[in-house]
Amino acid sequence: MLRAILIDDEQPALDLLEKLLITIGHIEIVGTFTKPYEAVNMLMQERMDVVFLDIEMPGLNGIEAAEHIMAIDPGIDVVL
């Protein structure tokens, strides 16, 4: 089972993505975040297999967040 977190500044988008991923199966949604910095902090404490990440977000955009995430764990898969 893949451990995943979802990051998007829009809660309805997070809810939909979570629902879709659950129907696929074999993915454990460990957390959903509307604030990228909170997700990055969580990744410093817990290992994930994959991060689903929105590109267009205020403050820390998806590309910048992906750079932080890859610095924490170069082996993590990032889906933009």
DSSP 38-64: HHHHHHTTS--SEEEE-S--SSS-HHH
Predicted pLDDT at 21: 96
Q: Which H or E run contains 28? A: strand 27-33
Q: Nearest Cα to 2, choosing from 36, 50, 34, 47?
A: 50
CA of residue 6 relative to chain centroid, distance: 3
Tens of pLDDT, residues 10-42: 999 999 999 999 999 999 999 999 999 999 999
Predicted pLDDT at 29: 97
Architecture per CATH, 2-79: 3-Layer(aba) Sandwich (3.40)
Residues 6+ apart with CB under 8 A from 18: 6, 29, 32
Tell me 59's DSSP state: S
- Give the predicted TM-score (pTM) of the model: 0.94
Predicted pLDDT at 24: 92
Are the C-beta atoms of residues 43 and 73 closer than 8 Å to each other? yes
Predicted pLDDT at 39: 95
- Return the domain boundaries, the chain: 2-79
Predicted pLDDT at 38: 95
Q: Kindly indicate the confidence band of residue 68, based on its pLDDT and cuts at 50, 70 and 90.
A: very high
